[in-house]
């Protein structure tokens, strides 16, 4: 099989190309070569690219000449190894490039494996961790939902600490992360209002995950039970300003999570109400791992994920094979053409 990489222009995400992967260098002691089996492609990956420079996401899988390899989540198998603890045939779940192969310096950690490559040493450890992953019937759902629903679950965990919170307003309500948060928050009795484009409104209402669905052109009449929190998955400064203005004193918290509206990015400037603060999932993971232990954190999350998958009868998985199908799917996700009731699973070959 000819190895390849998908590269994007870091300054213009619409410019994407397939390139033959360089001939692999001989493995050094401690290194392993992994063949990528499958991964998911979502708006979350676009967020990685949009904020890749400021948050270091381009550093995980370096590329030259102003190009980048966008990280994705999925499964890979060791096909060549000089790492004593990572034998050939070992199957792992974790952070991958949009490629057929990659090389990692795999060492056994306290809970699974870690890529200890020098260029990743200063990067958030959450993204350097790989878990052993024997084949499972839920693998496609895990590839798609595990990173997204993990953010949903951690957000809900953070927000649940404020027991007075009566309502949540979520932008980009069709994103899988917003849908996961809506499901969890409503189970706690919180009113959840989803903000979306007119084209997605009817479909979202059918899912039954939101108490109300409001389109962006209706934000002038937006209302919510007080106290309310705004969770911003869109990163659209005009939407943020409209929400803060409409909710007024009812809004007591504003969190920044994603940038699905990457074309509209920019600072919102001075806003009425609370100052938006960034939610960074690894911080909440570290907090709960310290309080509960990593094993208990994983067990609680796995139970929640299985519950969400079991209830997500609205979700259809679409499978794509090869670089051309990957680039076409990437264009759809980048331009916001992906449907809220679909998930995309990519197999390199």
Give the separation between CA 8 and CA 333, rounded to whole angstroms: 14
pLDDT value for 263: 52
Coil vs helix vs strand at 328: helix
Coil vs helix vs strand at 273: coil
Note the maximum CA span of the chain.
Answer: 62
pLDDT value for 268: 55
Find tokens 């499964």 and name the residue.
75
Give the separation between CA 330 and CA 51, rounded to whole angstroms: 17
Q: Which residues of the chain have pLDDT under 50?
A: none
The pTM assigned to this predicted structure is: 0.86
Q: Give the burial class of 241: count Cβ atoms within 10 A of its Cβ; 0-12 exposed, 13-18 middle, 19 or more buried.
A: middle
pLDDT value for 266: 53
Which residues touch 42 (CB under 8 Å, ≥6 apart)? 144, 148, 175, 176, 333, 338, 343, 344
Query: Which pair of tokens denotes residue 213?
Result: 């669905």
Give the separation between CA 60 and CA 262, rounded to whole angstroms: 21
Note whether 16 and 330 are within 8 A (CB).
yes
- Helix %, strand %, coil % for the chain, to 5? 35, 30, 35
pLDDT value for 126: 87
Q: Which of 174, 218, 166, 172 is nearest to 192 (CA)?
A: 166
Give the separation between CA 298 and CA 284, rounded to whole angstroms: 13
Note whether 157 and 180 are within 8 A (CB).
no
pLDDT value for 310: 95
pLDDT value for 261: 53
């Amino acid at each position: 099989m000819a190895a390849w990489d998908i590269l994007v222009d870091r300054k213009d995400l619409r410019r994407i190309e397939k390139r033959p992967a360089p001939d692999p260098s001989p493995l050094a002691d401690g290194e392993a070569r992994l063949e990528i089996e499958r991964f998911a492609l979502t708006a979350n990956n676009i967020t990685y690219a949009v904020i890749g420079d400021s948050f270091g996401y381009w550093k995980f899988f370096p590329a030259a000449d102003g190009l980048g390899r966008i990280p994705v989540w999925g499964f890979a198998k060791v096909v060549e190894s000089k790492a004593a603890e990572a034998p050939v045939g070992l199957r792992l779940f974790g952070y991958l490039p949009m490629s057929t192969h990659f090389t990692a310096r795999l060492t056994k950690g306290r809970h699974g494996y870690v890529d200890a490559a020098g260029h990743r040493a200063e990067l958030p450890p959450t993204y350097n961790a790989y878990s052993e992953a024997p084949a499972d019937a839920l693998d496609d759902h895990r590839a798609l939902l595990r990173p997204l629903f993990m953010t949903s679950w951690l957000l809900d965990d953070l927000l649940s600490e404020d027991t007075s919170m009566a309502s949540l307003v979520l932008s980009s309500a069709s994103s899988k992360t917003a849908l996961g948060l809506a499901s969890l928050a409503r189970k706690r009795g919180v009113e959840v209002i989803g903000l979306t484009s007119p084209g997605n409104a009817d479909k979202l209402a059918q899912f039954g995950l939101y108490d109300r669905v409001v389109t962006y052109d209706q934000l002038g009449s937006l209302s919510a039970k007080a106290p309310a929190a705004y969770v911003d998955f869109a990163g659209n400064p005009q939407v943020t300003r409209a929400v803060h203005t409409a909710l007024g004193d009812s809004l007591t918290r504003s969190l920044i999570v994603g940038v699905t509206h990457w074309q509209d990015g920019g600072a919102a400037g001075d806003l009425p109400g609370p100052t938006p603060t960034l939610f960074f999932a690894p911080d909440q993971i570290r907090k709960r791992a310290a309080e509960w232990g990593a094993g208990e954190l994983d067990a609680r999350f796995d139970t929640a994920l299985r519950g969400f998958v079991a209830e997500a009868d609205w979700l259809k998985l679409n499978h794509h094979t090869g670089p051309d199908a990957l680039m076409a799917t990437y264009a759809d996700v980048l331009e916001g053409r992906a449907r809220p009731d679909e998930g995309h699973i990519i197999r390199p070959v």
